[in-house]
Structure 1
């Protein structure tokens, strides 16, 4: 990866490519794009419709994520703050993510849906594409992403929000309509039980591997530079399903521990 990546799903994706390679295949087709461009993530629905509407739509599995936006009645959350809370999976001590999201929202000129798309482009989109390409390249796989064709991406950005999402549990509206028109079964275009490409690693780090993870982080803390200490210390606290601080701390500890020791000449 060339640098620490505190997202456990990279392990799942890496092993998927390994299996594909073991089968003797050399070209894979990926689905990157629609979730980002066509309001396919639950976080989009949470900002557009609110946490209560999302939970009522049957997405109960996302209650921990929705809880980031649940607040005292009458206290509205600024859109940029709401998006930042949903995007963050760990600490943001210098407010870099919030600044990027705020700039994206300002560029959208009051168009909330466009602001969400621009926020994704400014924060998660580039690392996501680079990660998938590097993981596939590790097994000499050619990874093709048909949804990233330039014309399709540009069309997606121009589409009114009604063609992207009209129901909290059914993003990517235009793709659902196309699938329905092509005669695909309802369980394809009518699915309302979206689940991300989750990894069991975070649960392991807070469960059977907790003592091991703590030991790794504490060992790194003993010699870590001041700038790295807040992240490592945060990783000693158990996190929830949508908190990657512990994972980030562990990866940072491994990265730091494997760096060559440099001494002055």
Structure 2
């Protein structure tokens, strides 16, 4: 795992200052503390920070091809590099190293832009081809590894693994995009189709970008997508066997490393599945680690201990409490852009714990998206069936006003919280799922935004790109559409961003075997009845894992890695909740109605409403702006 950065001149070819590239890389030193390098040529500069995982001594970067035609900087791991290397050797390629970086170079020379289709892994890389005078940027299929880029005023394109790499360049404009504030307040993060800053872009997952010195900046090209349009025809027992094969292959391929390796273990289905296959494939004890909370309802350490004992792992655990939120400044600095998933804190803590004994850790991320493990996906599929029986007029003229009038009973038992259900049924499928996934609904955003901010947005709503994505998805059902949206929107923007930044902050490489693209493609073809049964998701995954895991692990109610932030903001962190309405930083932006913020914070502290996620969004926005120095 590494950090990369670089510059490429579009139009007039100018010399590139290697010190400028070095500064862009130096701020990424946490991603690669084991080595660094910079290479420049007329019109191009590539920089690299290395975290040594495979071929520790033999694969320094930037790396040049054997014929000196191409140069690469690469962040990630190619899990099938040995198979690709063998194929390339049969075609005449020769290799000087034992790592995966040189394999990418040879694949580029053999297949050009199609090289990415031969690579199984997590990656973001840049290849400069001297002969064609082109720069090729690529990002892995599901967006595990990030890549930011922007055009600068001197006619160059700058790219980096994190926004802070671009911020190190003096020509980067630091103007906040008001639409990004709307995006952030909706989702709790700035999704991949936008950045907090005007003119800064993220290369989308499963896309490449080919740049030429004498051409303007082109649009990224998609090379992979997941389709839910076809269903497997095999018998369930055969599909179950195929699923187990995919799981085994995905885990084993991610256990290749020349450094100590372990796993995150929450005690849930997904991480326990990964640990089960690791234990089966490992000669020694698997190292596992988990994080617990000082609020009993959110603590899962007893389940993690149960699984650790079952597979005789070398297990370590640690607790997170509200007094550790002094780390807010550190968390904000990791993400650059505002990021309000409160589980970032325990994720960082479990990464710190893992790094004490390993350099690579496998996680269970991705199974909920691929196998329909989120309750919201199951609810959406059910609502879509109901929606199909209701006339449009009834939904719009009756259910919509009922939903708007119904009180928001955050304190009440779930069956009495009808407001969200009525609002969902009143809208179309994409609109309803956007509401289910969002942190702050539009009616609340319009209350807390100032008139100036509403004017700057010019009618833009963060739900629109999301709804377009769902409406054009390659799917057959409402469940398909919900999973597709989660895989393409939520996963790269929230989950994978969280894991990448928190793991890289401590120089730990995190790998996600349940996001093996072949496993994801297989899961997308499962009949709905093998994904959801009896109102519960991940049916086939759980059924297949019965031979490995006890039923009290497989079928207990889903808990998730949820930080008890609502309780903390009513108790030890109530002062931070009250302070947000008085924030000088937020006041300078002019984006919010401070009086309304004060009312919402007091209502939350008094237990009348649950505004914890909104308040946490504002706390993290305040700290992120302070760290960026852009307001």
TM norm structure 2 = 0.36
Between Structure 1 and Structure 2, the one with more helix by share is 1
Contact 1:136 1:143 in 2 (8 A): yes
What does the per-residue CA deviation read over 1:116-167, in whole Å, with 9 as the maximum and x for residues that have no partner?
1122134311121122011111111121111111111111122221121112
**1:260 and 2:629 are equivalent in the alignment:** yes
Question: Is residue 28 of structure 1 aligned with residue 28 of structure 2?
Answer: no
Q: Which residue of 1 aligns with 2:550?
A: 185
CA contact (8 A) 1:31 1:146 kept: yes
Out of 592, 598, 601, the residue aligned to residue 229 of structure 1 is 592
Which residue matches 1:132?
A: 499
1:218 aligned partner: 582
Report the Cα distance in structure 1 between the residues aligned to 2:416 and 2:462, rounded to whole angstroms: 21
Write the distance in 2 (CA, Å) between the matches of 1:153 and 1:231.
Answer: 45
Take 2:489 and 2:580, find their aligned partners in 1: how far apart are those partners?
A: 29
- Cα RMSD (Å) of the superposition? 3.2
566, 571, 580: which one aligns with 1:207 = 571
Deviations 1:169-225 (Å, cap 9, x if unpaired)? x21111111112x25322233x14111211123321233322333224412366422
Q: 1:247 to 1:64 in 2, by over 3 A?
A: farther
| TM-score scaled by length of structure 1 | 0.79
Tell me whether 1:40 sits opposite 2:373 in the alignment: yes
Specify whether residues 245 and 232 from structure 1 end up closer, same or farther in structure 2 by C-alpha distance, changes over 3 A only.
Answer: farther
SS in 2 for 1:90: coil
Gaps of 5+ in 2: 1-334, 384-411, 446-459
Contact 2:378–2:479 (Cα < 8 Å) also in 1: no
Question: 2:348 aligns to what?
Answer: 14
Call closer, same or farther: CA 1:116–1:200 in 2, change over 3 Å: same
- Hey, what's the Cα distance between the residues in 2 that align with 1:64 and 1:20? 40
- 1:105 — aligned with what? 471
Q: 1:134 to 1:183 in 2, by over 3 A?
A: closer
SS at match of 2:340: coil
1:235 and 1:247 in contact (8 A); partners too: no
> CA offsets, 1:32-54, max 9 Å, x none?
1110111101111221235xxxx
Cα distance in 2 for residues equivalent to 1:96 and 1:208: 33
Mean CA deviation greater in 1-10 or 206-215: 206-215
SS in 1 for 2:600: coil
**Aligned to 1:244, what secondary structure does the other structure show?**
helix
* CA distance in 2 between partners of 1:131 and 1:64 (Å): 32
Cα separation, 2, equivalents of 1:36 and 1:65? 28
Count of paired positions: 247
Query: 1:186 and 1:253, CA in 2 relative to 1: closer, same or farther beyond 3 A?
Result: same
**Contact 2:340–2:616 at 8 Å: present in 1 too?**
yes
Counterpart position of 2:613 = 244
Contact 2:430–2:471 (8 Å) recurs in 1: yes
Runs of 5+ unmatched residues, structure 1: 51-60
Larger Rg computed on CA atoms:
2
Q: Per-residue deviation at 1:8?
A: 0.8
* Cα distance in structure 1, aligned partners of 2:600 and 2:620: 15
Deviations 1:56-114 (A, max 9, x none): xxxxx992996553339xx6543223212210112555422254134313435652111
C-alpha distance in structure 2 between counterparts of 1:28 and 1:232, whole Å: 45
Alpha-carbon distance in 1 for matches of 2:549, 2:586: 57
Structure 2 counterpart of 1:172, from 527, 538, 543? 538
Deviates more, 1:25-34 or 1:95-104: 95-104
Match of 1:151 in 2: 518
- Whose RCO is larger (CA < 8 A, sep 6+)? 1
C-alpha distance in 1 between matches for 2:572 and 2:566? 11
Q: Is the 8 A contact 1:104 1:122 kept in 2?
A: no
Q: Distance in 2 between matches of 1:211 and 1:120?
A: 34
The CA deviation at 1:241 is 5.4
User: Structure 1 residues 69 and 114, CA, compared in 2 at 3 Å: closer, same or farther?
Assistant: same
**Counterpart of 1:118?**
484
Counterparts in 2 of 1:140 and 1:83: CA distance versus 1, 3 Å:
same
Change (3 A) 1:122 1:152: closer
1:63 matches 2:397: no
What SS does structure 1 have at the residue aligned with 2:422?
Answer: coil
Say whether 1:90 aligns with 2:429. no
- Residue 54 (structure 1) aligns with: none
